[in-house]
Homo-oligomer: A and B are copies of this chain.
Amino acid sequence: MQNFADRLNKAIKEKGSAICVGLDPRMNQIPKHITEIAAKEHKDPFVAAAAAIIEFNKGIIDAIHDLVPCVKPQVAFYEVFGAPGMQAYKETIDYAQAKDLIVIADAKRNDIGSTAKAYADAYLGMTDVYGESRAAFDADAITVTPYLGYDGIKPFIENCKEFGKGIFVLVKTSNPSSGDLQDLELKEGGSIFEVMGNLVDSWGANDIGETNYNFVGAVVGATYPRQAEKLRKIMPNTIFLVPGYGAQGGGAEDVKPCFNEDGAGAIVNSSRGITYAYEKSEKYDEKTYDKAARAAVEAMKKNLESIF
């Protein structure tokens, strides 16, 4: 089974970019020609919304799949449409993978023991049911929250080994109040995000692949470059998933500390800035939202290339 880190690094090399496109569908930003057709075809508003989301995502995926190694659908924006929304989540994952994209389920799941195992099976493994083994969502990686300690991480790591998957553990998040807990200074020295960095480094230490990275990644926000610099040193073999670029205020210089000196070790996410680029464009409109997304990825690619 190929190590997830090797798979991701190979894809970054092949596509020539370390960009992840966030797929966070919002009904009021999906072009009307898509939402209206879905409403004509489906009476139930959640089923119609799910159909519109799939159609919209397919347009984005078709437009960007040759430029980026991975996409990151944020599950909250699907869950808000109930079971039909979760069906759209599954179909989005399937479609992206068929287009040779790696899919990171941004779910920030966390629990303990057999419950964490159920989440791991749902997103990174198989469900045994009626003598069959069947995948519920089958993403390539998932984001996880570490508040419960190693008990909550272990079942995910076991599935990573068995199925060649990856996880990204929240370490230093991009939001304004991320310091409420993460920046607290400890008696033993260092702050919580640094302790978490050390833990994440140790959780992945036994599973370093050929490309010198392991499948236990970290989420490190673009909005805190000084903290990222510290974390890069603490976790030399960890791939950083970097949110906060673009709409949240992070620029190319801000994400630079998330990379190792050879330009490897990070993947930078942008969601709204790409998928809804048409809203801020003079050249494109909602009919050409997919072309606007492609242009936004190309601009982001150039911008990131400027830092090395």
A199 at the interface (CB under 8 A from B): yes
List CB contacts (< 8 Å) of A126-157 with chain B.
127-130, 132, 134, 136-137, 145-152
Which DSSP category, helix, strand, loop or mixed, fits chain A's interface? helix
Q: For A48, list chain B residues within 8 Å (CB).
A: 129-130
| Cβ of A49 to closest chain B Cβ, rounded Å | 5
A108 at the interface (CB under 8 A from B): yes
A280 at the interface (CB under 8 A from B): no
- The chain A residues found within 8 Å of chain B, CB to CB, are 24, 26-27, 35, 39, 45-46, 48-49, 74, 76-77, 79-87, 90, 108-116, 118-119, 121-122, 127-130, 132, 134, 136-137, 145-152, 170, 173-182, 184-188, 192, 195-196, 199
Given contacts A146-B180, A147-B182, A149-B180, could you give 19 more A-B pairs where the C-beta distance is less than 8 Å? A24-B115, A45-B130, A45-B132, A76-B119, A76-B122, A77-B115, A79-B86, A79-B118, A80-B127, A85-B136, A110-B110, A112-B175, A146-B147, A146-B181, A148-B173, A148-B178, A181-B195, A185-B187, A187-B187
